[in-house]
Amino acid sequence: MQVGAASGGGLVELASGVDALYLSGWAALSPLLCEQLHDKQLAARAAGEPQPFKFGGTEFKIWPHGFGRFPYRLEHRHGVLQLNPNSNLPPIRIQPRAEFLHGVGALGAARWFEDVIVDRCGFTELSVSRVDLHADFLGWQLSGEDRERFVCRARARTTYEDDGRWTGFSFGMRKTGTFTARIYDKTEELKRSKAGYWEDIWGSSYKRGEQVVRVEFELARKALREFQLSSPDEVVTAAGSLWLHMTTNWLSYRSPSGDATKARWPVAPEWDGVRRARLADEAHGLARMVEGRRRATVLGLTPGLVGYLASYAAAMGTEGIADTCDLVPELLERYEKHSERQFADRVAEKVKKARL
């Protein structure tokens, strides 16, 4: 089935695949590397901001402090690399960024990080500690009352609403270390995030303003080991089978009947469409992901920028876009002299913060 085609119950599938991938790695962290990490982290603390750190042939930023059980945190535009040289657990933890994951595919992201680690540490063995599978649909209208139509093997479930309007359901608890699920209004979430690339991924089947419902399953390490899955290749290859298991045996959406036992209600046509989602490790193009995030950032800045320019026009007595903008260069130059700081330096600082 092609993405964008009807998939049952009137649903149209826009996209599906791996949405998050957390990796653990076994590798030898040499005493020299540990010493360099320690020294650079002290420099970051002294500077009060992340500092450049060369890991193999790739430049990361090392943060002044680690996170959780990992004392060293390295960040790159492609994701986060956490290191713990003094643990019986895997000493490396990896989390690719979403736009990188969708840009090059889950396996492409895993292999990029593996190559980086091998370049510095030699032999490396990666395993998946968590994978999130998703599918996005048009044509499914849900409300808070529909929670009674779900049959789930997990007892914990939560309904989310905003001013009485449904925004999502969640099923299961992360602390079990096995399965959880979320079904939510993805378009509502995008209003608060900068993941503007999703409209590009959804393509021509999506029209701005339409509600997109996301079905998402989170499978932690314990759950993956039940299926004897460990390596990134094993997990990604099995994504379709995992999706079928979760939508058949763990969670389902039913059509009410006269039967007092909800588990015997027939599966709803919409859920047939969810079951048939096309799960694939697709690479949507890293340039498209970066451009989508840039566009979303600009859209978020536009209302404030327009408001300030309108106030400036009112103060200066201009009315149109062109005559107002003609005055802006002179304004910026005067402010450079007053603040004793170049506009280009301010831009460079914003660019630096965006890359950290």
List, as one string, the DSSP characters of 39-75.
HHHHHHHHHTS-EEEEETTEEEEE-SS-BTTBSEEEE
- The terminus-to-terminus CA distance of the chain in angstroms comes to 40
Tokens matching residue 61? 């930023």
Phi, psi of 157 (to 5 degrees): -155, 145
pLDDT at 5 over 80: no
Cα dihedral 262, 263, 267, 271 sign = positive
Question: Is 288 a residue whose pLDDT tops 90?
Answer: no
Q: What would the mean pLDDT of 334-343 be, rounded to a whole number?
A: 83
Arithmetic mean of pLDDT over the chain: 87
| Share above pLDDT 70 across residues of the chain, in percent, rounded to a whole number | 88
pLDDT at 23 over 70: yes
Maximal C-alpha separation, the chain: 78
Closest among 151, 145, 141, 144 to 171, alpha carbons compared:
151
pLDDT band at 351 (very low <50, low <70, confident <90, very high): low
295 pLDDT more than 60: no
Residue 147 has pLDDT above 80, yes or no: yes
Do residues 290 and 196 make contact, with C-beta atoms less than 8 angstroms apart?
A: no
Residue 290: Cβ-neighbour burial (10 angstroms; 0-12, 13-18, 19+): middle
Q: Which residue has the tokens 């003094």?
A: 86
Q: Is the pLDDT of residue 299 over 60?
A: no
pTM: 0.76
Distance of CA 62 to the CA centre of its chain: 21
Kindly report the CA angle at 297 between 296 and 300, in degrees rounded to 5? 85
Residues 103 and 75: their CA atoms lie apart, in Å, by 18
Whether the per-residue pLDDT at 113 is higher than 80: the answer is yes
Q: pLDDT band at 284, cuts 50/70/90?
A: very low
pLDDT digits (tens, 9 = 90+) for 216-271: 999 999 999 988 999 999 999 899 889 999 999 999 999 999 899 999 999 999 99
Structural element, H or E, at residue 215: strand 213-220
Supply the angle between the helices 286-316 and 321-339 in degrees, to the nearest 10. 90
Q: Long-range contacts for 315-320 (Cβ within 8 Å, ≥24 apart)? A: none
The whole-number average pLDDT for the span 37-41 is: 97
Reported as a single tens digit per residue, the pLDDT across 58-90 is: 999 999 999 989 999 999 999 999 999 987 889
Please say whether the dihedral angle defined by the alpha carbons of residues 193, 194, 198 and 199, taken in this order, is positive or negative.
positive
277-292 average pLDDT score: 50
**Is residue 300 scored above 60 in pLDDT?**
no
Give the range among 65-74, 205-214, 304-313 with minimum mean pLDDT.
304-313
**165/340: higher pLDDT:** 165
Confidence tier at 9 by pLDDT (50, 70, 90) = low
Instruction: Take residue 340 and report the two structure tokens written for it.
Output: 């004793």
In eight-state DSSP terms, residue 90 is: -
Q: Can you give the C-alpha Rg of the chain in angstroms?
A: 24
Q: Is the pLDDT of residue 293 over 60?
A: no
